[in-house]
Chains A and B, each alone.
Chain A
Amino acid sequence: AQTVTQSQPEMSVQEAETVTLSCTYDTSESDYYLFWYKQPPSRQMILVIRQEAYKQQNATENRFSVNFQKAAKSFSLKISDSQLGDAAMYFCAYLIPNNDMRFGAGTRLTVKP
């Protein structure tokens, strides 16, 4: 079974600082995709970044980057220069092609001014 684990229920960061959110997953598949979604108080799911498992290069999207360690089955999200608008729940998710997504339990990020 594919499972996604986010071991940090809550994280806090000072505005303009950097924070890293952890995610590990369990799978026997070789072809899969990993995602980080942001869920603000509106509860809409917003895609932050995605990583293809076959790519060795870590994905980056502006202030967001990942540290993808395939052998360790780890997929952490780094947010640089944190902004107040980054405060939200962050969900790590896993997808096998042509299948449903599996989500972690989420990490609530607080940004302190």
Chain B
Amino acid sequence: EPEVTQTPSHQVTQMGQEVILRCVPISNHLYFYWYRQILGQKVEFLVSFYNNEISEKSEIFDDQFSVERPDGSNFTLKIRSTKLEDSAMYFCASRVTGGSYNEQFFGPGTRLTVL
């Protein structure tokens, strides 16, 4: 069964460093998402991406964040200069397009620890 994959599973970085979180969505999916979950808190929407551009973003997704689909398979989230409060679990999700219901399939997440 096709699934969303994310790498790495755990990333440790120093404050101020840049990190890139990688996701491989399900191959026939066209909408991509990043969500964040700070430890002990709820999952929060960061950004959605379609047709090589951001379609929606939350207030969390400030200028430190960027997303890219560098090739036909990967979908990346870049944090330019990490802060301690960026420590969280980051989930990628994808869905097909068309129809009124489009379930989002979640990846296993990347745990980001900023020291």
- On A, residues with C-beta under 8 Å from B are 31, 33, 37, 42-45, 47, 50, 52, 91, 93, 95, 97-106
Contact = CB atoms under 8 A, between A and B. Distances in A.
Given A33-B101, A100-B48, A100-B56, A45 B42 contact: no
B104 A104 contact: no
Interface in B26-71: 31, 33, 35, 37, 41-45, 48, 56, 58
Given A42-B108, A102-B45, A47 B103 contact: yes
B101 A100 contact: no
A97 B102 contact: yes
A113 B14 CA distance: 42
B89 interface: yes
B42 A91 contact: yes
Contacts of A93: 43
B75 interface: no
Contacts, number: 49
Contact of B103 (A50, A99, A104): A50
Nearest to A31: B100
A95 B89 CA distance: 21
A100 B41 contact: no
Contacts of A52: 101
A31 B101 CA distance: 10
B109 interface: yes
Contact of A105 (B41, B45, B103, B104): B41
B59 to A, nearest CB: 12
B91 A45 contact: yes
Contacts of B89: 43
B103 A45 contact: no
Interface in B67-115: 89, 91, 93, 100-104, 106, 108-109, 111
B106 A100 contact: no
